[in-house]
Amino acid sequence: MIYLDNAATSWPKPEIVYQTMDRFLREKGANPGRSGHDMAVAAEKVVEQTRTSLARLLNAPDEKDIIFTLNCTESLNLALKGLLRPGDHVVTDAIGHNSLVRPLHRLEQQGVLVTRVLGSDGCGLVTPQDVESAILPQTRLIAITHASNVSGMVQPIEQIGEVARRHGIPFLIDAAQSAGVLPLDVKACSVDLLALSGHKGPLGPTGTGVLYISKRVELDPLKEGGTGTVSESEEQPLVRPSRYESGTPNTVGIAGLGAGVGYVLETGVETIRRHELTLLDRLVAGLAANAKVQICGSPPESERVGVVSFRVKGWSAGEVGAVLDQAFDIKVRTGLHCAPAAHKVFGTYPEGAVRASIGYFNTTDHIDALLDAVGRITAAQPARSLPKAATEANGDSGEQQ
């Protein structure tokens, strides 16, 4: 089996992640911060160690600004709904995942003005000049998708951050596809809010997410409740991270996330990046050499993460995905990838495309096997006779951040 769906969730995880989660549940599975016995203290230590590792991954100046959530979607909801009010204005890109698009749409219905910058290249690439031109007197936030989950295109966040800082506007990035894969420095990029998925580039389990909140920003919590601190008060604590972390956390998931981030830090983000770029270049070159394949989105010269979406002439995306799965045991993602806005920009809406997404544990043999399979598909007649259920099973069933 060949797994090329790492943009949905990374697989496999490093062995240390499996071992850590098993050991944590067996030896430290108490409720952190709620009791004074040694198991609870040990659980709290694991949570705080993970927080510290994440601060190191992002070059965050204070680990208390690292907030644990259940996923990147919750992180983005906290950032957007905790900050924006009716009458505020947001500048964003036009290729966001629904985890960014949908909460912004809800806020629009409540009186927030949203400007979606398309970019001038037809691929959704946003320049600092594009962003600056869209700023209004009431602009309260600039929110940018760091790397597209459809095309892999990387936005110039350092330059956009300079625009945000010059205008005194908070800067949010959706780093679901970039954290753990690209070097990230919230200080150098003037980032105030950064949302990430723990189960993708950081190599942790599902059910883990993070929101970095700089000291320049205060958010209203999405929820209030037990924090294990200031229990005598009916008011939500104001100190971080308790202010934003009500309820029992996903401690075993956080333990696994800590192990995944530790693996990334030990291996080196630059090492991971070089490996994925080698495979990406091989994949793009192989697909581009096939006259019946159209690569969607990013121009070849743009910076990308290991995500490539493509169409095959004469075949629907669902048909290609079904054949890759059933005939070649290659796992890819087809459909709209929970990013219809991006597909509208790329001209692949409403059907979508086939997406292959590379992870650190993929090899050149995996890429060559995919290219060989696509070559066989393009040489064959379209599989219009495939059972409907087979193609639907490989359609757009939803992708979680």
Cβ within 8 Å of residue 274, ≥6 positions away: none
Residue 203 contacts residue 261 (beta carbons within 8 Å) = yes
Residue 152 contacts residue 305 (beta carbons within 8 Å) = yes
Distance CA 24, CA 31 (A): 12
Q: Rounded to the nearest 5°, which phi and psi values hold at 13? A: -90, 160
Q: Beta partners for 41?
A: none
CA quadruple 301, 305, 306, 308: dihedral sign = negative
Residue 59 contacts residue 186 (beta carbons within 8 Å) = yes
Coil/strand/helix, residue 216: coil
Nearest to 147 by CA among 188, 171, 175: 175
Cβ within 8 Å of residue 22, ≥6 positions away: none
Nearest to 217 by CA among 100, 87, 60: 60
Coil/strand/helix, residue 130: helix
Only one residue has tokens 């490989």, namely 394
Catalytic residue among 72, 123, 189, 338: 338
338 is catalytic: yes
Give the angle subtended at the CA of 18 by the CAs of 12 and 23, to the nearest 5°: 175
Task: Give the residue numbers annotated as catalytic, written as ranges.
Answer: 338
